[in-house]
Amino acid sequence: MSLFQQVTIVDGGEESPLRWRTAKVQQLFLYLVQHRGTAVNKTVIIELLWPELEPEKAYHQLYTAIYHIRKTLAPFSKYFQISNTSEGYKVRLEQTILDVDQFERFFRSDLSLSAETIGEYEQAIALCKGDYLQEHNYIWAESERRYPLEEIAYFYLMKIFADMGRHSSVHKQYDQLTSVLWKELQEQPNPAITEWYHLWKQKNKE
Which tens digit of pLDDT belongs to each residue from 95-136?
Answer: 677 767 777 777 677 677 777 777 777 777 666 666 666 666
Please state the rounded mean pLDDT for residues 172-186: 85
CB 194 within 8 A of CB 188: yes
Distance CA 156, CA 133 (A): 24
Q: How far apart are CA 149 and CA 2, in angstroms?
A: 16
- 3 burial class (0-12, 13-18, 19+ CB within 10 angstroms)? buried
Question: Alpha-carbon torsion 129, 148, 102, 69, what sign?
Answer: negative
Q: Which helix (H) or strand (E) covers residue 175, if one does?
A: helix 167-185
Q: What average pLDDT is seen over the chain?
A: 80
Whether pTM exceeds 0.75: no
When pLDDT is averaged across residues 58-84 and rounded to a whole number, the result is: 88
Q: What is the per-residue pLDDT across 117-128, written as a single tens digit (0 to 9) for each? A: 777 777 776 666
The answer to whether residue 140 scores a pLDDT higher than 90 is no
